[in-house]
Each structure stands twice: as structure tokens, then as C-alpha cells.
Amino acid sequence: MSIRRVRIFSLFERFWHWSQMLLIVTLLITGFAVHGFHDKLTFEDAVTLHTAAAFALLLLWIFSVFWLFTTRTWRHFIPTGAGLWAVLRFYGYGIFKGERHPYHKAYWRKHNPLQALAYLMLKLVLFPAIWISGLAYLFYFAWRDLPNAPQWLGVIAQAHTVAAFLILAFVLIHVYMLTIGHSFRAHLMPMITGFDEVDLTPEEEAYLTKDQPDDIR
């Protein structure tokens, strides 16, 4: 194995990451305005911006799911038990003792086991929960005549709010993780340039050097 700088995040992944971040922050700010946590926006403007950002994010998710399966990049998000305990121990204890991170990025496994598990739960649980509840709330007029509709609307609104706060918690943890281990810049640059240090097998190194020379340094 040799450590080389390899382009592991494509242009679309980087666009997806930053545009998703911008839209989620917009949704959080407008959502807090709708709930009256601040008065930087009127209620009407907050609802309009919130709805527009939600549909833009939903469209982005549809394209990203299509991209994940057509490029087979979904494999990076499949969690594995191998090394999970070591990563959990590192974040819970080892990091405070100055230990080295036990996981090194691999060409076909760019997320450590804990990252893969967290991202998978985000994509399979929190994201569907937020958009299903949001769409149900937005299109209440289409099912308001059903039995107990007002009571169900309250449940849906609460579920939407809980999912939003869980996504906010994920965002805060994600930003916090950028401040530990390597420098903030070292954590951030791969999602800007696409390049990061990766453990390569001799076969992978030979393949990239010959067939994708622009993707290895």
C-alpha cells in the first residue's frame, strides 16, 4: 500500500455537497423564522423561501440518487462492522489522548465505518422523514377532508420539526468534526479540490497512473 493524493470527490459530488449545505442552511433559517425564533424575515417571505429551497433540495436529491446508482458510488455509503469499534473508540477516547486516526481512506472506501453509517442513516431515515412530512404538510389541502385530518396535521408538523432539529444536530456535529484531528483546512480542501490522501494498492496505483493520470498526484 502507498499513500497518494487522489481525486476521490468528483465535480458533481462537490457541487452536490455545497449546494445541499446552502439549501439546508436556508431551510433552517427560514424554518426558524416560520416558528418565530427570529424576525429577520416576515412570515410570508419565510414560507415562500422555505418552500422554494425545499423543492430545490428535493430536486437535487433526486439527481443525486440517480447519480449514486448510475456511477455505483452508493458502495461508499454501505457501512461495515470492520473497524467500526476502533473508530468509535478513537472519537470517544483516543482523540483526546493524541492518538492517530485508525482509519485511512481507500480508493473504494473513502468513508470510515462510522461516517458511512451516519451518512446512510441520513439518506435513508432523516431525509425521507423531512421531505415526506414537508410535502404532506404543504399539500394538506388535498387530504384535509379525511377523518381526523387536523390531528394528523399536528403530528406531521411535529415530525417535520423533530427531523429538522436532528438534521441541524448532524450539521453541527459535521462542522465540529472538521475542527479535530487534522487542521480545518486539511479537512475542508478535499471537498474543494476533490483530492485527498488515499491508501492505494499497487494495482490501483498502476491503474490510476496509466488510465487516469489527472486523478493522482
pTM over 0.75: yes
pLDDT in tens, 131-186: 999 999 999 999 999 999 999 999 999 999 999 999 999 999 888 888 776 666 77
User: Coil, strand or helix: which one is 2?
Assistant: strand
Give the range with max mean pLDDT: 89-103, 105-119, 148-162.
148-162
Predicted local distance difference test score (pLDDT) of residue 206: 87
**DSSP code string of 168-199:** HHHHHHHHHHTTSSS-HHHHHTHHHHSEEEEE
Predicted local distance difference test score (pLDDT) of residue 136: 95
d(CA 139, CA 94): 49
DSSP state of 99: P
| pLDDT greater at residue 83 or residue 23 | 23
- The long-range contacts involving 78-85, CB below 8 angstroms and separated by at least 24 positions, are 78/116, 78/120, 79/113, 79/116, 79/117, 79/120, 80/113, 80/116, 81/113, 82/113, 83/112, 83/113, 84/113, 84/114, 84/117
pLDDT in tens, 31-75: 999 998 898 899 999 999 999 999 999 999 999 989 988 988 888
Contact present, 188 and 178 (Cβ < 8 Å): yes
C-alpha cell at 194: 476533490
Predicted local distance difference test score (pLDDT) of residue 129: 94
Label residue 24 by pLDDT band (50, 70, 90). Answer: very high
d(CA 171, CA 21): 9
